[in-house]
Structure formats: structure tokens, C-alpha cells
Structure 1
Amino acid sequence: MSAATLFVVATPIGNLADLSARALETLRTVDAICAEDTRRTGQLLSHFGIATPLVALHEHNEDAMAERIVARLQSGQSLALVSDAGTPLVSDPGYRLVKAARAAGVAVSPVPGACAAIAALSVAGLPSDRFAFEGFLPAKSAARRERLSALAGESRTLVFYESSHRIAESLADLVRALGPERPATIARELTKLFETVLAGKLAELLAKVQADDNQRKGEFVVMVQGAGEDAGAQIAEGRRVYALLNAHLPPSTAAKLAAEITGAPRKALYGSREVSGEE
């Protein structure tokens, strides 16, 4: 074990057999493990008979704890960073600690393993040579719809995380923003007992989730194919409709209606000086 190194260790997203031999050895031999939830990580360590001390590091204390942890690293200790599940920093805490450690000249080394986004993408059947990971969408519907409207023209495959209590609402907003025909895949409870992967058009997936209570339980990765070659034509049509509406309505209202009518991203319409004549 190298001294004065922060090891960023991926842990299983469900199936405990996915914890690598290197990850096990690292967690056994470091001086302490920085964990998002010490209780959850404690259960994982107990399963493998590991007694390494735990230090709580989560979104509410990361700023305060980073300096203390870096001081331990500078004293020669080796530490590991884990999240509740999967690869740390991917929609999880740890960025500030890693940044602080690197700024202090401390070595930071990855111990790779499970990541829900990559695991889901590997079985989605959607283009994966280029993709955009968006993490969790905003919880409030207005902000969520605004984010999706801005992404409507994105040509890369879109990857989102979503929770059980918002999955149906988010799918409905995806249908509204990206269109009912857009190909998509929903991966639920990956590597766990009730793993499900559903593929189809967005409207079809929304109907399946709404019709089955079980498909609204667990943790989700939602992947949506990017805008195709017709995206440019869609935006052009959106701008045409926007120009007509903008002659009679406030710009924000005109853009909202034009986006709903044509499926074009609202920001591509509202931000167009050529169309709106705004300065």
C-alpha cells in the first residue's frame, strides 16, 4: 500500500460479488475509509470481514472535512473514498476532497469498478460512442422541463439518474420535451434481484411505468437517444412558428408555445435574435 494516497474506490451498485479483489485489498489496508453513509458502508465492510475505521464524508460536511482529511494524507496516511454505491463523485460527494488533495500535492488513485450509468448504457441498445451524462434532473417540474427543453436538440445519447417517486413525472416531461417517438431505455435496479431493462419509444415506456407499480420502485437510469438528422429541420420549423407567434405574443409565451407545437428546444427559439428581433 502506497502511503499518502487517496484511493477513490468503486463499490457494488447491488450485487456484492462485483467488488473487485483490488478494491477489497485497498479497503482492508488503508488507514481509514471516507464514506458517504458510514452505516451503509459499515454493512458492506462487515460482509467482507473488514474492520477499517470509517470517517463520514457527505454533501453537508465535505467542505469542513476536506482540510482535515488532507492533513491526514499529508501526515503519511493512506485513505479510501467511497460512496453509498458505485463510483464516487458520479452524482455523489467527493469532488471537493479530491480537488483539495490534488491541490495539496497528494496522490489520488482510482480503484475502478461498478458505475450505474456505464452499466446501464452497456445494455441499452442505444448509440454509446458519444453520450451526455446529466445526473439527476431537477426535482421541481418547472426547472425539470426547462432543463429538458434545453437538451432537446442534443445529438448525443442522454443519460439520467432518477428516483422512484419521480420516475413517472420525469418520463412524462421527457415525452413532452423530446417527443413521444424518441427511442429510450430504462434500467431499473441494476445487478439486483429485480433488475429490469425496458426499451422502446418514450411514450411506450411511460405507459409501461404508469401501468405497473413495480416499475416505479427502485433506482433508475434513463437513457434517451439523441436528436437525429431531423433536429435541424425541427429547430427551423420551431423558429418559423415562433416568428409568427412572436408578432402577437410576449417572447417567452411565443417560445413556449412554439416549442410545444414543434418539439424544438425552447432556448433555440427564444434566444434567436434573427427570429425574435430582440437586442
Structure 2
Amino acid sequence: MTPHIGQRISAQYAELSAQEQRVAAFILEHFDDLAVYSAADLARVTGVSKSTVSRLFKRLGFESFQAVKHHARQLRNLGMPLVTDAQAASGDGERFKRHLAREQENLRRTLGAIEPHTFEAILQAMDQARRLLLVGFRNSYPLAMHFRQQLIQARAEVSLAPQPNQSLAEELVGLGAEDLVILFGFRRRPRLFEELVETLATLPCRVLLIGDATAASHAERTDWWLECSLDSISAFDSYASAMSLISLLANGLLHQRLAQGRARIDAVSELYQGLDELSS
């Protein structure tokens, strides 16, 4: 990925004129709101001319301010939390309506894209696998952890990787054709992710990839691919559709093995009581 505008400013800051530095400092302090401003806005709030603003952006490698705004939106699409509409999350009750509409659209797009026969094949693989290994990094890790907590109540041999301060290699050794890896690949993935996908493709295990659209390029190296829409009304991604998909998969697995699942849930509940782990 080429350096984003904040990195470009940091690299060239000492070489900028005093007026350009004033604009650059404002951008760094209001980076999350960059896509909201116009060139005239930047000139006005920093007390410089529009030509100074234009000259700064050209020095930073942008042909025009529209190119800067496009750059900011690209960063947002890659997962960098940038505000692209200053009014998106304001307006009292209206924000709830906009949020609800966006969440509903995310769910519609996520669940509507799943072919029923693909979903059933995934459930069957989850049911029949000797071992389920759930893998997630950064934002994907809590999703993988929550999914494991659901699955472990319905079946045995469900593990999570990477464990805190641990490496992955030990978890991958011994994976066979009867095992299933569920890999979460939501955006802003670590560099290790691509190498992990390539490594899993060389192993006999099957792989289910769950992620947003930016992970689609890795789908051809996996057995199944489920895409979740993360769009929100402002800067931070919404993982509601991902959590809904996790619920759907966990419930699907339970119904796939209802007798065994109920027996395991009952056994877990008895141990909860025996250990006095949970409050009422």
C-alpha cells in the first residue's frame, strides 16, 4: 500500500513553508474528518489562500483536492476509520433510523448472497470434521473467539488460534483431510494473513473463509467463502452482519446434530452448576 496522506505529510513536513505547515498540521489534527472538508474550507479555517492548499496537495502527490478526497475514501474502504459525512451520525432520532436502515441492508446483502446448498455443505463439514480450528487476527479475533464459544457447546474439538503471545505453526501441524479451518479475514489484516492462506492451501484440511469484500481475492484458495457487509453510517465498521452469520452457523450446527448437541449442552450446564461458575 502506498503511503497515505498522513505519512506523506510527516515525511515532508520540515520542507513545507510556514503556511503549508499550518494546513498540514490541521489535516493531521483532523485526519478522521478529511473527506468532509472542501479546499475552500481548509483555506478558511487555516487562514491561508486556496492556492496554498492546492500547492500543498500537489507537493504531497495529489493532482487535485478531489484526488485527496478519493484517497480518503479509499482509506475508509480499506478499514481506516475516516468520517466521510460530518452529518451522518448526528440528528437525534434520525441517526437511529439511518443506522437501522444500514444494518438491515448489510444483513440483506450478507445473508442474501449465501446459496442454500453452500450453507448446507458448510454445516455438514462443521458437523463431520474431526477438529474445528478457528483463526482470527486483530478485529477478526473476537469474532473467532465468540464463534468458538458457541460451537464448543454443541461439539467437542473446537480450538482457537492464535492464542495470546503464541505462534500458529503448532496449531497447523497435523491438520488432515477430516479437519476444517474457519478463517476470519476482515479488513486491515496483518501481512501474515496472505501467507497463512497460501499455507492452508497446501494442507489437506478444508477451509472456510469469512470476511468482507477485501478478502474476496483469497477466496479461490479456500473451499468456501462467505462475505459480510460491514458498511456503517460513519467511520467505524459494523460487525452486526458477521455476528448474525455466526449465530446462523452455530444454530445450524446444533440442529445438524441435535441429539448430541442437546446432551452436550446439558452436560456443560451441569458442570456450570457444579463449579458454581456463573451467576443467575
| TM-score calculated relative to the size of structure 2 | 0.30
Q: Which has the higher helix share?
A: 2
| TM-score calculated relative to the size of structure 1 | 0.30
Q: Which has the higher strand share?
A: 1
